[in-house]
Structures are given as C-alpha cells and as structure tokens.
Structure 1
C-alpha cells in the first residue's frame, strides 16, 4: 500500500495533499481504488499504482516518439534543401546523430519491444555518423572554424555491434587513435583494446581508470578480460537490477523494457570475445543479445551528395 505522496512522486503529479491535488481529485471521482485510513488519509494498493503508471507512460512515450520523428523529418528537410549551406547541413547531420535515429530506437523499443527495428535504427545512426565525419572534413577546408563534434568510438561501436555490423566495429577500433588524454578518449581506447583483444594494454588502462571517477563499470570489464562467463553474466544482472530500481523507484514493475546502452555494449563486447551472454531481466530482453536475420534498409532518404560518402552500406 502506498501513500498519496509516494504515488504522486512516481506519477509526477501535484504533490499537495488538498482537494486540488490531482490524485485526490481522481480519488474523489472514484477513478482510483484506494482505502481510507483512520487518520483521514488514503492508501493505494500496488496493483492500482501499476495500472495508473501504465496508463500514464504510454501517451508520454508515444509523444516522445512523435517528437523524435518530427526532429528527424526536420533535419532531413534541411539536408534536402537546395538553398541550405554547408553549416546548416552539418548541424542537421549532427542533429540526426544526437537526437535522431538512436534516440528514436530507444523510445520505439519501449513501446513495441521490436529488437530488429531497433537494430535497423542503430544502423542508420552508424551510417549517418560516417557521413557527418566525412562531410565535416571536406567542409573544414572552406570553413576552418566549424565546431566538430563527432560521435565517440564507444557510441559507434555500440551502434555497429547491436546492428550486427561487426566488421565495422573492428574496422573502427583498428583505426581509432585518441586525440588527447580526456576521460572519454581513454574509454574509447579501452573499447579498442577490448575488441582487438589487446588484453595487456586493456588491463593497464583499466587500472588507471579504476583510480578515476569514471563512467565505466570496472568490474564487468575485468570479468570480460578474465573470460569469466559466470561472473560477466552475474555483473550484467546486477547492473540491470540497479537501472531497474532507478527507473521504478523500487515501487512497481516497469511496464516496458529499455535499451540500456551500457548493458548492450558490455554484453556484445563479451560475446565478440567468445563469452555467451544469458542475461534475463525485466528491464531488457535476452533477445537483445541474439543475432537476427537483418535486412539493412537503404539510405534513400539522404541526398546524393551524402550517399557518395558512405563506404560501408549493405
């Protein structure tokens, strides 16, 4: 049984405990099943909280999907505009990477749980990132002041592995050279070492990162380097459980699954190194770590000047 304050926090509605409170209004209108206490307050059973949450999240996720679809259409319209300059096109390509296909995949997966569709959208993100980087390098000769914000190797490897373009993941890892000593560059370098099975270099770099406040999960990577299948899967489950509790606030069952980038990245790197992943958790289906028969969609939505920049389409 949950209090009005607990449920309102989860539902992100008005937390004021008066007649104007949204939850109390629903209670007064008998739209919510609850029990009155001797103190004059209400308690809402768990199954009712679950029902309310499911009724609330669907339109929210649907709206997010529509927003990302509109963003993608806007960016594509700018790319196809014959009067758009190089800077506008660069911003549009960057928008497709940052707010486009990968983000859309995440929200569509919450609604439909379609792994194949998510993989195809990640494939789009991967291809557009290549177009963006090549186009910017061309434009830099004319506009040397352009702000260049390429996707990290970590992101690109994730997109490649999840979309089953393992050849591209290895190719990018082989040709990656860090630019500076920022934490993000160290993480990208670690991803390179893990994929290419340069375990000595990976172990040394992992020791450095373990001393820093880093975003990577040192324990999982250490288990991958040790080729400990049982420990890898146990740690992936612990990581999934932590994310699940974060999203649910330890109150109810999450009514949808999530594409967790870190879990996908660690899991697929482990499998590329011969470690089977058998993660079964409510937050993300085991199917996310299986290979599928994929039909890679073409990139007909891109103008011809960008299509010629793609060297790895299928």
Structure 2
C-alpha cells in the first residue's frame, strides 16, 4: 500500500457539540483572543519604542516571546471560534498540515527563546562583569535566529512524517485543532514507530530543556546568596516571572508529548492551557512585578496625551 492519503478533509469535533455551550465558547474565546493580542502587542510596542528596554537582551527576547505568543493564538483561536459557529467544522488536509506546522513552529521557537532568556539571566547573575561582553547585540540576534531556525526544523520534521501517512478511513478528529496524536490515531498503518518519533522530537526535547532550565536556575539561586538584599530581591523578581512562565509552558508540553502515543479525554484541556491561556497570561506575568516595564508603558502611552495637552 502506498503512503497516499485518500482523505481530503478532516472533521474537528471541537470542544463541544452542544449549541448552548458553543455560544459560550465563541464569546469566551473571542475575549481571550482579544486580550492575548492586546497584551502581547502592548509588550512589543513598549519594548520596540523604548531604547533602554530594546537594548537589554532580556527585553529583546521578551519582545519575540510576545510575538510567538500572539502567533500561536492566531493559529488556534480563530479556528476554534469558527468551528463553534458553523454546524460542520471541517479543515482541509492541506489546512490541517499547515496548522500542525504553524503550532509546532511557533511553539518550538518559543521554547528556545525561553531557554535563551534563562541563559541571559545566568550570565547576568553569575558572570556580571562579563555580561555586556558576552550578551552583545550580535549574539542576541544569533540566538533569535537559532530560535526561528530550530522551531522551523522541529516543525518540518513533524509535518514531513505526517504528510506521508495514509488516511483512508475515518476523518473525524476528536479535538479542536490538528495535532500529532489525534492524527496518528486515524492513520491506516501501524504508527508505533512514528509515536516514538513524536516522543523523541517533541517530548524528549521538552523534558531535557525543562531539566536544564531548572538546573540553571538552581545555579542562579545559589549564586544570589552573595548579593545584598536589594539586588537579590530585584533578581528574584525577574527570575520568578521567568520560572513561572517556564513551568506553565513546559509542564503541559511534557505531559502532552513525552508519553506513549495515545489520546486522553483531557488532552483538549491541556492543549487549551498551553496554546490559549499561557499566551494570554505571559504579558501579565512579566509586567506584574516589573517596575521597569510598567514605567516604560506609562511613559509611552501617556506621551500622545501630553503632546495634545501642550
């Protein structure tokens, strides 16, 4: 049998088949989407228009993190909303592969950016005298390029394997997006080896990155003991925000992909968490205790008002 798909479209069951629930889904997810776009756009514009922040490696990476968050939400939420409005929620085979590629591309890039942000904090706290020399603009641009390239390679590998699978039977996906395990479940061949590939390419990478990040923050926290109380409090504030984001991002990712290739009823909830809720929460987490960002926001967004008054 040739690896050729006979399925031209998939039916996404979405979050619910109850009309009343779907109306609530439309309202709630539209609100979440608007808040996500607004929050991340404010972060991007604030950093881009504040030279002191844009010149800082940490905020340079944060700008790209916000961009990836906005992109992931734009790939997922509009389709969820559209699927709750229309009676039959379908997606073409090509559209399914594009969505699969986009989610893993932006997700993989974000994972690498989070790793580089931890590296930046490690250099800033553990090697402060060499920070400016090491974390120069050239290196920051290189690391962001690696994040884009790594996300692209990670996603390309997933899609190249999936696009060759024969889908000749059922075309109903019990999910709200096209993802790896629900698609493997519909393939007409034994996908055990491909399931192991998913664990290696997604789950194992997530798990190793998460462990390395925790180890790096263990070293950072140990190094903070030699700082005075004020410096320690400032460093802990910044690191605390990043650790929170790392845990919220990596734990669901590990749960979703670093396990045997099977689907569970609560997979939708886990996927909602890290593709919809986390991109919305990240701007608030990074600005809640960050006086530098909040001060830059006030200056930026009150500037036009002051100009008009004058």
Establish whether TM, by shorter chain, passes 0.5.
no
Higher CA-based Rg: 1
RCO greater where, 1 or 2, for CA within 8 Å and sep 6 or more? Answer: 2
Q: TM-score, normalised by structure 2?
A: 0.31
Q: TM-score, normalised by structure 1?
A: 0.31
